[in-house]
Structure 1
Amino acid sequence: MQVRWEYLTPPEFKKLVKEEQICILPLGILERHGEHLPYGTDGLSVHAIACRAAELEPCVVFPTYWFGQGHEASCFAGSVNFPPRLLYEMLEVLLDQIARNGFKKIVIFSGHGGNSHFLDYFAMTQLDREVDYTLYILRGAGKRQLALADMWETKYGHAGEEETSQIMAITPEGVVKLEQQVYEEPILPRMDLTQQVPGVHSGLWWYAKYPLHVTESPSHATKEKGERMIEARVLDLADRLRAIKEDKVLPSLQQEFYERVRRVPEGD
């Protein structure tokens, strides 16, 4: 079953919109993932998972959107960052354009941890305007993904064993180049800023911990581990899509909120 927006023909597209009215937006980033993984690691993984999940729970998958919050990687070649205001406006316009095509529910599926704070703020600010769709931003690992925690020899880390395994599973042979992983393993945190300056947060917190932008032990990765993890994430996402399709609570709350906003000038 074809689910990718860019591959669908008009009859196929219209049928999916009419029957399902839901679109997934895979959100990644272009940033360094050590010396051994491609810059597009985050977007590649969530797009592949979204496409497979959409075959189980039919919906349209938008092409990977590469522009998220990645300022912590701006000291490395290969990173692409937009000014915050432009980044925000582009995402808002993109969602409106997706909705213009008939989608009533839009799901943002981010593969980059650095997008989390940006997306939290973005979601709150969307309450300031009325739209004719409901936005769902996926958070946290699903039950099947969590059940595989004991499979890993090292704990999860950026460009580490788990992420490297997944990219091995979804990309062609030779994309992952473990022979280029030149750093001594395990790659441990350099320092924790919360211990250096207690009670203070800084945008340098990640760089302070991992100045190489890679963690733990990538060399423990295998394609087989990656395939198990990808399958678990696909099934978890399909469960969430099913729940989103059935959800009537968020759309109802959204309309209630809009009605109260309209009454503010009257003193409500």
Structure 2
Amino acid sequence: MLDAAGASWEDVSAAIARGLVAVLPVGAVEQHGAHLPLLTDTVMATGVARRIAEGCDGLLLPALAYGDAWTTEGWAGTLSLSPETLRRSVEDIGRGLMRMGVRGLVTVNGHFGNREPISLAARALSEAGFPVLHLDYPRLEALAAELMDSKPAGPGFYHADEVETSMMLALAPESVRMDRAQPEYPEFPELFGSEPMKLSAFNTSGVFGDPRPASAEKGEAMIAGIAAESLRLISLWRGKHGI
């Protein structure tokens, strides 16, 4: 693996000559309750992306720290990009990688709101002849059901809960304030998911679920499971595109 954040242009040139693919973490700057930092999604995406890059001998790119976090703008600290800005940012990075001779791009998304912009960027890059595999923590739900003691606030909905708190305890324990961790299980409006809706309309703390049973051990198991499934998918993708 080559970490681009500390590499020289000569290091990158030599790595490209080996035929590697790039791995791009995409996170967000948004509230995660009183016990987790604003950069939670970026820290998690970077940690998972590093594990993936190590496993596939990839070029680990610096994270896109900002994402489409419109739904959490009701809380202080959240800073959101428009979907169009995020899409074009991923596209621009992909086109730069293609120009340098990188064989393909794997995006590791740590925030739900980023999914559509990344998918559209991947489509545009694919049409330009540059393979992109966009990953959204594969096997997350199955791993959460297996490893966590608390129930999610909603189907497939994990935010500032036991899952994310555990992953942060594994990746950046110094940033977690468990003394502030409190549960909240809001009632989701019937139209949630069918119309644009900010989460602060029905949640007060910014927590969805119960973070209190979290542990670094659970977080490490989550990261390892997500990385293993990601590497399996990357192997299939590379085989399909001959990279």
- Name stretches of at least 5 consecutive residues in structure 1 with no aligned partner: 252-268
- Name stretches of at least 5 consecutive residues in structure 2 with no aligned partner: 153-157
The answer as to 2:214 corresponding to 1:221 is yes
> Match for residue 197 of structure 2?
204
> Match for residue 150 of structure 2?
154
Task: For residue 205 of structure 1, report the CA deviation from its aligned partner.
Answer: 5.9
Q: Distance in 2 between matches of 1:63 and 1:236?
A: 22
> Match for residue 105 of structure 1?
104
> Match for residue 87 of structure 1?
86
> Match for residue 155 of structure 2?
none
Partner SS state of residue 75, structure 2: coil
Larger radius of gyration: 1
Q: Distance in 2 between matches of 1:56 and 1:210?
A: 39
- TM (norm. structure 1) is 0.78
Partner SS state of residue 175, structure 2: coil
Please report the RMSD computed on the Cα atoms of aligned residues, expressed in angstroms: 2.6
**What is the correspondence of 1:169-248 to structure 2 with a 5 Å cutoff?**
169-171=170-172, 173-181=173-181, 183=182, 185=183, 187-194=184-191, 201-204=194-197, 206-248=199-241
Partner SS state of residue 25, structure 1: strand
Task: For residue 163 of structure 1, report the CA deviation from its aligned partner.
Answer: 0.7
Q: Distance in 2 between matches of 1:191 and 1:54?
A: 37
> Match for residue 266 of structure 1?
none
Change (3 A) 1:53 1:87: closer
Partner SS state of residue 133, structure 2: strand
- Contact 1:50/1:237 (<8 A) preserved: no
Q: 1:141 aligns with which of 132, 138, 141?
A: 138
- Contact 1:192/1:205 (<8 A) preserved: no
User: Cα deviations across residues 191-236 of structure 1 (Å, max 9, x unaligned)?
Assistant: 32328xxxx8221164444343211111111111112112222222
- Contact 1:166/1:226 (<8 A) preserved: yes
Partner SS state of residue 108, structure 2: strand
User: Cα deviations across residues 129-185 of structure 1 (Å, max 9, x unaligned)?
Assistant: 952411221246238x725623211134311001100100011x431001122x4x3
User: Cα deviations across residues 54-74 of structure 1 (Å, max 9, x unaligned)?
Assistant: 222111011010122111111
Change (3 A) 1:92 1:216: same
Q: Which amino acid aligns with 1:162?
A: V
Partner SS state of residue 109, structure 1: strand
Between the aligned residues of both structures, percent identity stands at: 23
Number of matched pairs? 238
> Match for residue 164 of structure 2?
163
Q: Distance in 2 between matches of 1:93 and 1:30?
A: 21
